[in-house]
């Protein structure tokens, strides 16, 4: 489903959308006052886990509203990354080999030399790839590291699907899920009585109110 957009925001439906920051702010404000509603009840209403809730509250208590801003999940360091010294040894063996050795043969050669901290053959193959040392035959065997497909930003694409159906005491249940393709956050998880458009539309409208409109779904 494509929805038209303008420079000032998304149009075409009667919802202005709520940002993630707005929802965080609303949650911590409700949790910080004596509203008589438990944290777990607020978690249920906002569709978040208690772990996430207490993380938000802890950041808000320490930093105020700036603590609720999105933070990069990229690690500050990569302790598992192969050292330059090891990479240099791998490239040395590759360049001095009579044939176009791949990861397994280079690993065996390093082991025979008594080198320490030798990476896995797959890691050696990736080192060769980064430095353009893979032969055409080896490159064809190893098309590259696996990458998870995802959109670049939240609300760029939602994935919607019914996960089959099963019998209950009150009739058949049709589980409806709506997933944000960037964050993998489950925006909707609903037990529907059927798969008719009227029911789906109702759950989508509620999701639009909570999370704003996606560019596509």
Domain that holds residue 101: 84-141
Query: Does residue 163 fall inside a structural domain?
Result: yes
19 and 54, same domain (yes or no): yes
Query: Does residue 75 fall inside a structural domain?
Result: no
Query: Does residue 97 fall inside a structural domain?
Result: yes
How many distinct structural domains can be found in the chain?
A: 3
> In this structure, what token pair is assigned to residue 184?
């993998």
- Does residue 60 sit in helix, strand or coil? helix
169 and 124, same domain (yes or no): no
168 and 132, same domain (yes or no): no
pLDDT for res 4: 37
102 and 127, same domain (yes or no): yes
pLDDT for res 26: 84
pLDDT for res 3: 40
Can you give the pTM of this predicted structure? Answer: 0.36
Query: Does residue 216 fall inside a structural domain?
Result: no
88 and 61, same domain (yes or no): no
CA distance 106 to 47: 51
95 and 48, same domain (yes or no): no
Q: Which of 37, 26, 18 is nearest to 60 (CA)?
A: 26
64 and 96, same domain (yes or no): no
Phi then psi for residue 193, to 5 deg, are: -75, -25
Query: Does residue 73 fall inside a structural domain?
Result: no
Query: Does residue 46 fall inside a structural domain?
Result: yes
pLDDT for res 14: 40
pLDDT for res 150: 67
109 and 133, same domain (yes or no): yes
pLDDT for res 13: 38
pLDDT for res 191: 93
CA distance 116 to 93: 15
CA distance 10 to 117: 53
Low-confidence spans in the chain with pLDDT less than 70: 1-18, 34-35, 71-82, 98-99, 135-150, 217
Query: Does residue 148 fall inside a structural domain?
Result: no
Q: Which of 129, 131, 133, 118 is nearest to 83 (CA)?
A: 118
**Is 20 in contact with 154 (CB distance < 8 Å)?**
yes
Query: Does residue 78 fall inside a structural domain?
Result: no
């Amino acid at each position: 489903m494509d929805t038209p957009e303008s420079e000032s925001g998304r149009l075409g439906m009667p919802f202005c959308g709520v940002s993630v920051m707005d929802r965080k702010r609303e949650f911590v404000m409700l949790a910080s006052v004596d509203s008589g509603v438990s944290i777990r009840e607020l978690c249920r209403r906002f569709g978040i886990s208690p772990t996430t809730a207490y993380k938000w509250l802890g950041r808000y208590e320490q930093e105020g509203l700036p603590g609720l801003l999105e933070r990069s999940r990229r690690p500050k360091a990569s302790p598992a990354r192969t050292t330059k010294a090891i990479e240099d040894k791998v490239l040395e063996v590759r360049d001095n080999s009579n044939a176009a050795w791949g990861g397994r043969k280079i690993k065996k050669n390093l082991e025979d030399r008594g080198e320490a901290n030798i990476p896995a053959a797959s890691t050696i193959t990736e080192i060769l790839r980064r430095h353009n040392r893979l032969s055409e035959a080896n490159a064809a065997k190893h098309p590259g590291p696996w990458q998870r497909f995802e959109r670049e930003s939240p609300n760029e694409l939602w994935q919607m699907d019914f996960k089959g159906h099963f019998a209950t005491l009150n009739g058949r249940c049709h589980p409806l899920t709506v997933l944000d393709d960037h964050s993998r956050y489950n925006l909707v998880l609903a037990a529907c009585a059927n798969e008719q458009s009227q029911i789906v539309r109702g759950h989508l409208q509620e999701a639009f109110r909570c999370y704003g409109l996606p560019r596509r779904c």
